[in-house]
């Protein structure tokens, strides 16, 4: 990719690392449009638990790939990649800087590495895996995956039924771990230069405190519970959907089912968010081209702006 190619900026990081604030600070200095790289922000009607940008924040710069599908529907890496390639071309044609902002590392990897050539879904095998999971539980299925494909298992939560099932399905169909198949994939070439920043904490305890404070803010005045209750009342959603397995929503659903109390809701929600942040940081460490910025340091956006200016003609 030559220096004459359009420039796009990636702002990656774990949850509560200040990605949105940094992106808006950059957009205030350079005409920009923000492309969300977040598998939860795509869903309409899921605002509180996803920490979706506020109306005021959305008004500060054009945003894309937010509120684009119903929680009943699925959204794939392929859809994200195709949409992002189109959006980057459109934004640069308007003379603006594309800012790819979010914490769904699988989307970033799919964008930069290209789509995989993995075996398609097998309905009969999927039924068998679901039956096994019903008998022994998804954590045990995760342990099975860890024996067969430890690299993939390390990136997944023990209750991530969708991705654990898919990884086991791939092994059964191909005879190879998904991580090995992905490693064989040829590196793709993007039609733009991508400068990738990673907002990472110098002190993990401070990030954990931020996570707890943010989850408490979601629970204040029952905002998250009211949101999940409204989604439940639709009647067509269930806890097995990717949308309802998002951190916070799964725990709130269990609380509204009467399966856990309020203290457990808070505790498990914060723990799940911390685990998500840990997995995001694990992903980031596997990305050698990233520019690490301390999200707890002095003015991360200013540090990014200095490097962006050096990359622009």
Which DSSP string corresponds to 187-229? PP--SSEEEEEEEE-S-HHHHHHHHHHHHHHHHGGGHHHHHHH
Label each residue of 27-56 as H, E or C: HCCCCEEEEECCCCCCECCCCCCCCCCCHH
Query: For 133-158, what is each residue's pLDDT tens digit?
Result: 999 999 999 999 999 999 999 999 99
Residue 115 scores a pLDDT above 60 = yes
Region 209-231 average pLDDT:
97
Q: What is the pLDDT of residue 182?
A: 78
Instruction: State the pLDDT confidence band at 311, using cuts at 50, 70 and 90.
Output: confident
Residue 117 scores a pLDDT above 90 = no
At how many degrees (to 10) do helices 138-148 and 123-136 cross? 120
Instruction: State the pLDDT confidence band at 181, using cuts at 50, 70 and 90.
Output: confident
Q: Which residue has the higher pLDDT, 185 or 63?
A: 63
Closest CA to 10 of 192, 185, 274, 156: 192
Q: Which long-range contacts (CB under 8 A, 24 or more apart) does 297-303 make?
A: 297/202, 300/18, 300/22, 300/199, 301/21, 301/22, 301/25, 301/26, 302/25
Residue 292 scores a pLDDT above 80 = yes
Taking the CA of residue 131 as centre, how many other CA atoms within 13 Å lie in the half-sphere pointing to its CB?
6
**Euclidean distance between CA atoms 201 and 210, whole angstroms:** 11
Q: What is the pLDDT of residue 50?
A: 96
Instruction: State the pLDDT confidence band at 3, using cuts at 50, 70 and 90.
Output: low
**Euclidean distance between CA atoms 250 and 161, whole angstroms:** 12
**Residue 167 burial (CB < 10 Å; 0-12/13-18/19+)?**
buried
**Are 124 and 197 spatial neighbours (Cβ–Cβ below 8 Å)?**
no
Residue matched to tokens 């939560």: 157
List the structure tokens of 117: 């050539």
Query: For 96-111, what is each residue's pLDDT tens digit?
Result: 999 999 999 999 999 9
Q: What is the pLDDT of residue 126?
A: 87
Vertex 103 angle, CA 190 and 313, to 5°:
40
Instruction: State the pLDDT confidence band at 119, using cuts at 50, 70 and 90.
Output: confident
Residue 273 scores a pLDDT above 90 = yes
Query: For 32-43, what is each residue's pLDDT tens digit?
Result: 999 999 999 999
3-state secondary structure at position 100: strand
How distant, in Å, are the alpha carbons of 37, 109, 111, 121, 184 from that of 116?
19, 11, 11, 13, 9
């Amino acid at each position: 990719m030559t220096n004459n190619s359009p420039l796009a900026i990636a702002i990656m990081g774990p949850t509560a690392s200040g990605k949105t604030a940094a992106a808006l600070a950059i957009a205030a200095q350079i005409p920009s449009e923000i492309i969300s790289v977040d598998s939860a922000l795509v869903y309409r009607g899921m605002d509180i638990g996803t920490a979706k940008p506020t109306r005021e924040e959305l008004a500060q710069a054009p945003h894309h790939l937010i509120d684009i599908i119903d929680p009943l529907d699925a959204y794939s890496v392929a859809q994200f990649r195709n949409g992002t390639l189109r959006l980057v071309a459109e934004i640069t044609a308007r003379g603006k800087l594309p800012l790819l902002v979010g914490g769904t590392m699988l989307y970033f990897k799919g964008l930069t590495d290209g789509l995989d050539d993995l075996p398609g879904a097998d309905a009969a095998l999927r039924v068998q895996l679901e039956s096994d999971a019903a008998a022994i539980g998804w954590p045990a299925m995760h342990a099975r995956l860890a024996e067969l494909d430890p690299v993939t298992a390390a990136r997944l939560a023990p209750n991530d039924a969708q991705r654990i099932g898919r990884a086991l399905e791939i092994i059964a169909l191909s005879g190879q771990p998904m991580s090995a198949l992905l490693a064989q994939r040829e590196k793709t070439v993007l039609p733009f230069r991508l400068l990738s920043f990673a907002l990472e904490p110098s002190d993990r305890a401070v990030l954990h405190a931020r996570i707890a404070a943010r989850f408490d803010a979601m629970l204040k005045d029952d905002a998250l519970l009211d949101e999940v209750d409204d989604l439940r009342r639709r009647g067509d959603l269930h806890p097995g959907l990717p949308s309802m397995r998002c951190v916070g929503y799964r725990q709130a659903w269990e609380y509204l089912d009467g399966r856990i109390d309020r203290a457990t809701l808070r505790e498990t929600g914060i723990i799940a968010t911390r685990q998500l942040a840990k997995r995001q940081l694990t992903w980031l460490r596997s990305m050698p081209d990233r520019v690490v910025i301390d999200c707890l340091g002095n003015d991360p956006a200013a540090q990014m702006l200095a490097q962006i200016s050096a990359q622009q003609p």
